[in-house]
């Protein structure tokens, strides 16, 4: 199923600029974007995966991970094939890299926006998450779905590598309520060598989405010997703190995957070291992930320091939320930052 990819601009030389992500592909007739799912046909940029889900599941919102966003709720989670990054450690490489590794083939089951919203409501979800692969590459599909979801009282979440253009964020802002953005490293070399991308646009997206009032959480997958030095972790923590100390930071354990099978699983000690560095830089909400550690995946009130959301299980499967409806600490009345209802 393909549809016009309207987040694009015709250039004077009869080429088309895709305006969805910072790769800024300029394409001629029959050319594909780097993501493999946007292509010029008949003088028009098309989104080849419109209405075609490669993965659809109902997940706890904590799995996204979003910890300050409607805790204990279900998120209808959706992804297509294709990605603008080429991370060597991608957990979903079978779908994200599929078109690039299969001669531009597009696969997926028909899931038009109306169907997704209907299923989400039928299954008692409170939100729709655009996840598994990079959602900005299927922008128009997410936009139509998110708009319809809002009309029906559902919230929307982007789980992203942070390559959205400002124009895309301006368009998404009325409908996207939360974003989990990866800061995969603080080194441009890492982004270049391991992800086929750059650091700067990611940092700009974090700042811009936050400025626009979208609720932002950050995830960093710590990989031994690649991005886990004290210095680099501290740089990321300082950057997040410079944007807003109340942005939650999820520190996740790497496990061998895809093209990085030679690197061992991240030890818990690394995650705890990063957690401490985040605290030293004044971040209010730190979480370790991909590992079961109740003390470090629960939420503590920044004012009275008491535990206000209990989480255990390696994706926060077990959640007990003691906050009052609008995120207020039941013990000291501090209002914790987040989207609570």
Residues within the interface to ligand SF4 (CB under 6 A):
18, 20-21, 23-25, 33-35, 38, 84, 136-137
The distance of closest approach from Cβ of residue 218 to ligand SF4 in the complex, given in angstroms and rounded to an integer, is: 21
First-to-last C-alpha distance (Å) of the chain: 35
**CB count in 10 Å sphere of residue 167:** 12
Residue 38 vs 64, nearer CB to ligand SF4: 38
Q: Of 38 and 311, which CB lies nearer to ligand SF4 in the complex structure?
A: 38
* Contact predicate 158/172, CB 8 Å: yes
| Cα(250)–Cα(308) distance, integer angstroms | 17
318-321 β-sheet, strand order: 299-300, 307-312, 318-321
Q: Which is nearer to ligand SF4, 80 or 227 (CB)?
A: 80
CB of 109 to ligand SF4, least distance (A): 22
Dihedral over Cα of 92, 67, 268, 271: its sign: positive
Nearest approach, Cβ of residue 207 and ligand SF4 (Å): 20
The residue nearest ligand SF4 at its CB is 33
H helix intervals, the chain: 93-96, 98-101, 113-122, 139-151, 166-172, 188-190, 200-211, 230-243, 268-280, 294-297
Task: Specify the 3-state DSSP secondary structure of 240.
Answer: helix
Which residue lies nearer to ligand SF4 by CB, 25 or 125? Answer: 25
Question: Minimum Å distance from CB 166 to ligand SF4?
Answer: 14
CB of 270 to ligand SF4, least distance (A): 32
- Beta carbon nearer to ligand SF4, 40 or 288: 40
């Amino acid at each position: 199923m393909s549809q016009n990819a309207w987040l694009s601009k015709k250039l004077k030389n009869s080429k088309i600029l895709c305006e969805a992500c910072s790769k800024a592909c300029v394409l001629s007739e029959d050319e594909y974007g780097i993501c493999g799912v946007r292509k010029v046909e008949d003088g028009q940029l098309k989104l080849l995966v419109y209405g075609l889900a490669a993965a659809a599941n109902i997940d706890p919102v904590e799995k996204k991970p979003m910890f300050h966003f409607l805790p204990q709720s279900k998120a209808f989670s959706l992804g297509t094939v294709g990605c603008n990054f080429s991370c060597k450690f991608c957990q979903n490489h079978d779908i994200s890299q599929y078109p690039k590794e299969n001669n531009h083939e597009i696969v997926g089951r028909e899931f038009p926006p109306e169907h997704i919203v209907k299923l989400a409501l039928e299954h008692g979800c409170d939100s729709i998450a655009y996840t598994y692969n990079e959602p900005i590459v299927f922008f128009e599909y997410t936009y139509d779905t998110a708009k319809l979801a809002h009309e029906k009282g559902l919230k929307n979440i982007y789980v992203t590598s942070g390559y959205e253009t400002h124009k895309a964020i301006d368009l998404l802002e009325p409908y996207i309520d939360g974003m989990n953005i990866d800061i995969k490293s603080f080194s441009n070399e890492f982004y270049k060598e391991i992800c086929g991308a750059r650091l700067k646009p990611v940092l700009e997206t974090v700042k811009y989405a936050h400025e626009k009032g979208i609720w932002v959480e950050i995830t960093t997958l710590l990989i031994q010997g690649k991005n886990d030095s004290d210095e680099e972790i501290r740089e990321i923590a300082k950057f997040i703190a410079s944007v807003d100390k109340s942005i939650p930071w999820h520190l996740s354990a790497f496990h061998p995957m895809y093209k990085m099978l030679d690197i061992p699983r991240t030890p818990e000690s690394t995650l705890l070291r990063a957690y401490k560095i985040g605290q030293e830089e004044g971040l209010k909400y730190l979480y370790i992930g991909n590992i079961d550690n109740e003390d470090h995946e629960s939420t503590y009130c920044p004012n009275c320091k008491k535990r206000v959301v209990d989480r255990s299980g390696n994706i926060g499967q077990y959640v007990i939320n003691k906050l009052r409806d609008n995120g207020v600490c039941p013990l000291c009345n501090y209002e914790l930052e987040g989207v609570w209802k």
